[in-house]
């Protein structure tokens, strides 16, 4: 399980260092994808397969689902972590997520998300407000936290 957040920087070649605590599940490789909310997700191969299978099934529902499945799969990139613990983020994925220099790497249970630092601050602040009960109290009560 991936938890926590870490501030990092992209190097001149678009690479970022993964925190050491996240690396072991990616020893057999990883898949980097676009995901909802404009960030990237790094999946261990078996988790990516689970998500891909689910998305393939949902793509049969209609045009919106097929379009999302195409963008998700078409933009996905299988990659390896180098000996220094870095992954190279392709230009099209950096562009999608608005990654320039400063990034946040966040563990989100079954995946690692990579965010533009400013975008992460806004998303995190919104989540914190909801946890404080300032917004969405009724709809959030079923989360169990």
pLDDT at 49 over 80: yes
Report CA-CA distances (Å) from 79 to 67, 82, 129: 24, 9, 36
Domain boundaries along the sequence of the chain: 5-135
Looking at residue 87, what is its pLDDT?
A: 98
User: What is the percent of the chain where pLDDT is above 70?
Assistant: 92
pLDDT at 136 over 70: no
Looking at residue 106, what is its pLDDT?
A: 98
**How confident is residue 133, by pLDDT bands cut at 50, 70 and 90?**
confident
Mean pLDDT of 23-28: 96
Looking at residue 131, what is its pLDDT?
A: 87
* The CATH fold of domain 5-135: Chemotaxis protein chec (3.40.1550)
In a 3-state reduction of DSSP, which class is residue 58? Answer: helix
Which of 110, 55, 52, 114 lies closest to 86, judged by CA? 114
pLDDT at 135 over 60: no
44/47 Cα distance (integer angstroms): 5
Looking at residue 140, what is its pLDDT?
A: 60
pLDDT tens-digit readout, 31-47: 999 999 999 999 999 99
Q: What are the DSSP calls for 16-47, one per residue? A: EEPPHHHHGGGTT-EEEEEEGGGEEEEE-HHH
pLDDT tens-digit readout, 105-126: 999 999 999 999 999 999 999 9
pLDDT at 18 over 90: yes
Mean pLDDT taken over the chain: 94
In a 3-state reduction of DSSP, which class is residue 75? Answer: helix
pLDDT tens-digit readout, 67-94: 999 999 999 999 999 999 999 999 999 9
6/79 Cα distance (integer angstroms): 21
């Amino acid at each position: 399980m991936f938890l926590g957040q870490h501030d990092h920087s992209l190097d001149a070649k678009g690479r970022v260092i993964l925190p050491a605590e996240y690396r072991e599940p990616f020893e057999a490789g990883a898949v980097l994808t676009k995901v909802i909310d404009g960030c990237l997700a790094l999946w261990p191969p078996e988790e990516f397969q689970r998500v891909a299978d689910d998305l393939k099934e949902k793509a049969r529902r209609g045009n919106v689902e097929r379009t999302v499945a195409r963008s998700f799969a078409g933009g996905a990139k299988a990659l390896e972590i180098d000996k220094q613990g870095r992954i190279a983020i392709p230009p099209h994925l950096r562009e999608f997520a608005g990654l320039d220099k400063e990034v946040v790497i966040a563990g989100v249970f079954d995946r690692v998300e990579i965010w533009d630092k400013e975008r992460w601050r806004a998303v995190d602040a919104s989540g914190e407000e909801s946890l404080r009960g300032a917004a969405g109290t009724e709809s959030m009560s079923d989360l169990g936290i």
